[in-house]
Amino acid sequence: MSELDELNAHYDAMPPVRAMQVRAVHYDGRVLRLQAPLSHNVNDKACAFGGSLVSLMTLAGWGLMTLKLREAGIRAEVYVADSQVRYLAPLYADLEASARLADDVDWPSVLQAWQSRGRTRAGITASVAGPDGTVVADLQGRFAALRPA
């Protein structure tokens, strides 16, 4: 099973996420991209539901942190610690979120914190762009990783 297949299986195991029809479609070690159809994430104004936008960006951040830790041989429980979201424009198309480490994250330090304390966290940025590439929503978040119970 590929890393994206494993991530998609995890997403499908959560009923609200399965209802959104979220799919991890790309990961290159730096950026994770998720997609979801507008038809399953539409609001009463025929555009993307704000809750779906924030959920997709949060899931992208969670997935990115999970995959980067797995690349380092770490199996951890990952949680969103906090986030700030901006909604910039309505989206009348399918949803696509991209997540990457925040510019100020020193990944070796994140891994060092895991080794020394058994927990760590990292800043992640995520966004949803429209078909023309214009960002319609963005998220700045901190994701925490803990040893499995």
Q: How many helices (H) and strands (E) does the chain have?
A: 4, 6
Task: Domains for the chain: give ranges and CATH numbers.
Answer: 3-146 (3.10.129.10)
Q: What pLDDT digit, counting tens, does each position of 23-53 carry?
A: 999 999 999 999 999 999 999 999 999 999 9
Q: Give the pair of three-digit tokens for residue 126.
A: 């995520």
CB 20 within 8 A of CB 40: yes
- Residue 149 pLDDT > 90, yes or no? no
pTM over 0.95: yes
The answer to whether 122 and 81 are in contact (CB under 8 A) is no
Q: What's the whole-number mean pLDDT along residues 57-86?
A: 97
